[in-house]
Amino acid sequence: MLAKRLATILALLLLAIAARADDTTVSLVAPAGGLVPTGSTQIQMESEDVQITPRRISIHYVFRNPGDQDETTTIAFRFPDLDGMAVCASSYRLPRRNEVNFMGFNLLSGGNPIPTKMDVQAFHEGQDVTARLAGVGLAPIVLPEPLNAGLTKIAPEELQRLEQEGLIEEHEFKTPLMATRKRRGWCGQWLMRVQFSWTQTIAAHQAIELTQVYSPVAGGGSFTPTSDGSIYSGTYCAGNDAIDAIMTARRGAAEAKDKDDKDKGPPILFYEQAIEFTLTSAKDWNGPIGTFHLTVQMNDPKDLLMTCTYGLQRTAPFKYEVTRENYQPSNELRLMILLRSRPLGW
């Protein structure tokens, strides 16, 4: 089963590579977004201030209760689902590869941490298999290190049953697992779903401030001089300035290559960092976002930012910003950042 699923993922990746021959690596982009109530609410999102860098996302909120009664609601932040097979195939670049809190989510109020409840579930072929895994003492975690550490404590006959049910399958890893010191191990064949939640009370006619911080699961590849940048025109609305900057970098690389070893492969001009942020979850609150402010902070003034987000303008060599009043998002935020320096984790 694993071989079949890997073949499917590989076929999709090969199609992507064929469409973009300049990629040397391909990764999946997993979206995440803001805080959402788990039920109907009268609470309003008075403001949302989103700050994005290639490695960190911070969102500061002001929530207001306009009613005459105190309101208590459960608020949640859900991670993108992780496919165990894709994790084993290294299709994700996770900020914290061996932690269940793989995005490093933190929630603060006035600079102080707010305790949250973390729920982890497993889904296989549309069925919730969390209880099945718990029945053999196995946590519903697809991350290779904690998964294989747990599997070492399970009897061989139970391992065989899990394999027959298609829940796990053997896999050869590139490097030995720390849990077993062996390259041969197991992959979980389920989707891991992680959600953080907490109960929040807002007094009548009062407001509270909350800040969430996490690292994005970002995707992308390596950009070499075999493309003119037009591949970014559709999804990311690449404009003339971005295309001109890419062409300038191409010319500089070509001149440097003429002076260097011509037998070397094409140089890497940029490292892609594709980030997707879910904005439309704001509709679950009462009314539009009073004031929405977005800041995208770059590492280097030579880094390139491309996005279809209307009104996002460069306000400093490293910074882009946009502000909207009474904002009702109809689309998600998609960013493509071309980094001149190799990011950590590549």
Domain-located, residue 180:
no
Contact between 289 and 283 under an 8 Å Cβ cutoff? The reply is no
The whole-chain average pLDDT of the chain stands at: 84
Determine contact, residues 107/212, Cβ cutoff 8 Å: yes
Is residue 251 one of the residues assigned to a domain?
yes
Mean pLDDT (whole number) for 122-137 = 96
Residue 234: inside a domain: yes
Token pair belonging to 237: 């609305």
Domain presence at residue 165: no
Domain carrying residue 285? 20-129+190-339
Q: Is residue 140 part of a domain?
A: no
Asked if 123 and 129 count as a contact pair (C-beta separation under 8 A), the reply is yes
Q: What is the C-alpha separation between 87 and 92, in angstroms, rounded?
A: 6
Q: Is 0.85 surpassed by the pTM of this model? A: no
Decide: residue 302, CB within 10 A, 0-12 exposed, 13-18 middle, 19+ buried: middle
How many distinct structural domains can be found in the chain?
A: 1
204-221 tens-digit pLDDT: 999 999 999 999 887 667
Amino acid at 173: F
**H or E element, residue 228:** none
Mean per-residue pLDDT for 216-232?
70
User: Tokens for 201?
Assistant: 């009370």
Q: Token digits for 315?
A: 């306000």
Whether 166 maps to a domain, the answer reads no
Average pLDDT over residues 137-150: 95
181 within some domain: no
Question: Which residue, chain included where needed, has tokens 């993922």?
Answer: 9
For residue range 235-288, what is the model confidence (pLDDT) as tens digits? 888 877 877 888 887 777 666 655 655 556 566 778 888 888 889 989 999 999
CATH number of the domain that residue 70 is part of: 2.60.40.3680
Confidence of residue 25 (pLDDT cuts 50, 70, 90): very low
33 pLDDT above the threshold of 70: yes
Per-residue model confidence (pLDDT) at position 123: 97
**Averaged over 59-71, what is the pLDDT?**
97
pLDDT value for 249: 76
Task: Evaluate if residue 320 carries a pLDDT over 50.
Answer: yes
Four-CA torsion 77, 80, 85, 91, nearest 10 degrees: -130
In a domain, 318, yes or no: yes
